[in-house]
Amino acid sequence: FNQSFVLGPELARINKISLKSIPPLMREQGVLPVAGPGVVGANCRQYVWPRLIQIVGADVEFGPVAKIH
């Protein structure tokens, strides 16, 4: 699971932003949740995002973009 998906709290911690900031920022990057509040057929309490990242040491990069911009 952890190799394919990432939860909002991890993204918030890495990017040092609030958890509520994650969904709009991810959508701005063109990344949609695979599960979460309001996701048809995959409704759950937390957003689950596809792990479109490469882990380099402790840093996380979203494709060619470092972290969430």
Own/partner pairs, 28-34, CB within 8 angstroms, 24+ separation: 29/62, 29/65, 29/68, 29/69, 31/62, 34/5
Integer Cα distance of 66 and 69 in angstroms: 8
Closest CA to 12 of 31, 2, 26, 29: 26
**Cβ neighbours of 17 (radius 10 Å):** 14
Global confidence as pTM: 0.68
> pLDDT tens string for the chain (69 positions)?
877 888 988 888 888 889 998 888 888 888 889 999 988 888 888 999 888 754 333 444 444 333 454
Strand partners, 54: 61
